[in-house]
Amino acid sequence: MRKGDDKRMISNSFPSAIKALGKIEGFKNDIKTYRSSLSDVPLWRPGDVLKKQCDEALRRIDRLEERFERKLVVTILGPCGSGKSTLLNALAGIDGLSDTGIHRPTTRSLVILSRDGSDADALSRDFGRENIKVVSSHRASSLERVLLIDTPDTDSTEQEKHIPLVHKAIEMSDVLICVFDAENPKKRDYVDFLASYVRKFSGESIIAVINKCDRLEERELRERIVPEFRNYIQEAWQPESGDIFCVSGRRHLHDPKWDPQALPKHDFDQFDALRNMIFGTFDSPGYIVDRRLENAGSLRNWVVDEIRAEVEMDRERLKTARENIRAAEKRALAAALSGLSGDDSKQLLGVNVLLYQKLAQRWLGPVGWLIAIWARILIFGVGIAAVFRFGNPIRQIWGIVSSLRHFKDSRAAVVETERGETIDTALRDYRFSIQRDWPDIGEIRVKGRFENSVRRIEEVISDGGTFTAEISAIWRSALETTIEETSKKLSGLLMQFLFNMPVIVIMGHAGWVTAREYFSGNYLSSGFFLHAFLTIGLVLFILFFIFQACVRLISGADRIGGKAFEKMKRLMDQYPPLSVNPVIRQLENILMMTLPGPSADSTDIL
């Protein structure tokens, strides 16, 4: 019956184990995500330590997965004289499995208690056979699905040798039983020793045991010692540990060997409840899965809490640095925009060329022909002017010829010089502004535990190429959009009709007269055609002059530049050149680690 029940329990535990392994993989991914975020902030000094903690947590979870189908490992910890070995023998139900005595340290190596010697083979390999002592007995029926580990004292004269073994035992455990001496439960060094470990375990995986409780008065134990001890370890460990049991391990040995001068003072003893918890609840297959799942979740939460605690220490300084950076960006961009607006005179000719190119593409009729000719003349004029500027004259002359041959592709060649000089001015003003503000910002970040290198402005804007390209693209976009809108406004059908109609009427009249006389057999003199041509040309030029006046009045180059400048200001409000810098981006990445993320709430039992 017993074996059949066991088989059903094991069979039913398989789906839960598979689900648990999937959830544990999710915990590992959470840790890897945080580690990746820490790798993105190499200038933040605490990052290296936190990354090592992430690696340690991942290693421990990997080890936990490796032993997922093994028996539950329960480790008993305690200082000298707390009665660990006595309690362990009592739990196993066999006196003398783990040595007891008055000589300290009583336990000099890890003692693994099991029902069958082969049960401890995996742990023997992990610890090293020279560091452990395996004690097995088929009479210990309670150890069918549990391995008990008795650890050396944490505060003995040989603690330097023992502590690494205790550390490893804790790492390999599913449940910790922390034993305290009832006569001195608030032993600070022992509580402090355990503090860094209990946070890596689920609360239900940690049991505090006040041993030798029969040596104290029952009323004092219940009303004062236990409540004060509970508050004490809750404050010291955080989060709160699991249950607290008051026991007398010696009472439950077959031969307790009482000292006649130290007989029990009362019968208050929670040993049976402790034993039932370990061997009636902990050793069930489903509970083993739950313990390991929760311990993996606790490791994940420990990593997250450590990272957030470190970030919280610097959060206010880093937030101040971020606000100062944003303010510095606004001032620097205002200075850059001021430099752009101050160079409007250099841009007027290029703006006119671009505008007339657009108009030439939209206008039809005689006035449209003249606009196209005028656009080519402007291109040629800009090219001639460029020859007399600094640079390679042969290349500039070739640019003129190329622009006339490839009219549609001439836009960049026409305004490149003007735009380059303008953007250089903007970049210069931007850098000067940032250089004024950066010392204070860098100092705040150093206080936020960034490397001293963040004080150097070269780390932030060492290369103006990216900024120049981006601000050029923004200016070009704003200017092109404004010119496109202006050309549409000046190319309406009504406007084209009004300006083209006088010339078309004169041309139509001259053509009608010419055709009429031709079919009548009368040939007109050359003077007629000369006068007709001059009249058409005169009217066309007057109309074009009026058109130019309208262009200048309604949407001159200075007006287009002003509108483009306003568009650019709106676009620049959304452009954070400092914040996208890798050095500055690290600050944002650190602050993002304080946002809500994985928490203990997500470690619910499957």
Contacts of 502 (CB under 8 A, 6+ apart): 539, 543
The amino acid at 481:
T
Please name each of the domains of the chain with its CATH number: 70-255+263-282 (3.40.50.300), 343-575 (no CATH)
> Is beta strand 146-150 parallel, antiparallel or unpaired with respect to 110-114?
antiparallel
Strand 110-114, strand 175-181: pairing: unpaired
**DSSP string computed for 357-423:** HHHHHH--HHHHHHHHHHHHHHHHHHHHHHHTSSS-HHHHHHHHHHHHHSGGG-HHHHHHHHHHHHH
Q: How far apart are CA 243 and CA 264, in angstroms?
A: 23
| pLDDT block averages, 10 residues each, the chain of length 606 | 44 65 89 92 92 92 79 86 86 76 56 83 80 81 83 69 81 86 81 78 81 89 88 76 83 84 85 86 73 85 90 89 81 71 55 84 89 81 47 42 44 45 66 80 85 74 60 77 88 90 90 87 83 89 89 75 75 60 78 65 41
How confident is the model at residue 156, as a pLDDT?
A: 60
Element (H, E) at 229: helix 226-237
- Residue 457 pLDDT: 72
pTM check: above 0.75: no
Instruction: Answer whether 43's CB lies under 8 Å from 143's CB.
Output: no
